[in-house]
């Protein structure tokens, strides 16, 4: 009852580990003096590490504990791990991975004749593609030659129509310009005639005025 409210005081413990080999497995041996099976925990992480933990009471509020992680080689199977505890030692057995299951860094090159066939096939497809492109180019050239003449004929007809329309417009412009010149000449002639008439009237008036003055002078002398 006196130990219920007492806080645990832990002492860290680093167990000694070693690997032993069997024909079909590798065994990790962990020395755990003073421990019991129910005081131990064993787990394998996703990063291929064997995680070992345990704690036991040494007296009063004093405890001893350990936490150890051991990397598992790639040649061992982590899905079939088994463990036994005997004579203060923990034996963790890791079966070896079969040779057919060992991942290979460089896959073997096989079916070389097939690769050569694929290569020849690729060359043949390239040749057929180039030949198809050549035939397509020839077809396009013949198509352009067959379509080119009507386009030229149509373009010459268009030019003739444009020339005719331009000539018509030029004639209309020339006619309108001629009428304007004629009207201008008529107006100029009219203005000249009007100026001549005005000049003649002015001369007549001036002559009449002079005649009246001369008659008055003769009358005064008499």
Which tens digit of pLDDT belongs to each residue from 28-48? 999 999 999 999 999 999 899
- Higher pLDDT among residues 29 and 213, named by residue: 29
Residue pair 86/93 in contact (Cβ under 8 Å)? The answer is no
Give the distance from CA 212 to its chain's centroid. Answer: 110
Among the ranges 26-30, 108-112, 141-145, 212-216, which has the highest mean pLDDT value?
Answer: 26-30
Give the sign of the dihedral formed by CA 111, CA 115, CA 120, CA 125. Answer: positive
- Higher pLDDT among residues 211 and 83, named by residue: 83
pLDDT tier for residue 108 given thresholds of 50, 70 and 90:
low
pLDDT given at position 143: 63
Residue pair 95/76 in contact (Cβ under 8 Å)? The answer is yes
């Amino acid at each position: 009852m006196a130990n219920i409210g007492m806080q645990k005081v832990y002492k860290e413990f680093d167990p000694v580990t070693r690997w032993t080999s069997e024909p079909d497995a590798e065994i990790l041996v962990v020395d755990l003096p003073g421990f019991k099976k129910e005081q131990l925990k064993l787990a394998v992480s996703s990063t291929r590490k064997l995680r070992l933990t345990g704690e036991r009471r040494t007296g009063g509020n004093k405890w001893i504990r350990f936490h150890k992680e051991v990397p598992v080689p790639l040649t061992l199977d982590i899905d079939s791990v088994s463990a036994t505890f005997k004579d203060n030692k923990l034996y963790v057995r890791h079966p070896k991975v079969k040779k057919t299951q060992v991942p290979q860094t460089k896959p073997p090159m096989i079916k070389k004749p097939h690769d050569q066939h694929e290569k020849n096939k690729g060359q043949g497809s390239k040749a057929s593609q180039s030949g198809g492109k050549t035939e397509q180019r020839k077809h396009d050239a013949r198509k352009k030659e067959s379509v080119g003449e009507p386009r030229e004929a149509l373009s010459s007809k268009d030019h003739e129509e444009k020339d005719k329309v331009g000539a018509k417009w030029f004639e209309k412009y020339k006619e309108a310009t001629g009428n304007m010149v004629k009207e201008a000449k008529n107006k100029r002639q009219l203005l000249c005639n009007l100026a001549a008439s005005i000049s003649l009237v002015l001369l007549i008036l001036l002559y009449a005025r002079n005649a009246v003055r001369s008659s008055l002078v003769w009358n005064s002398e008499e």
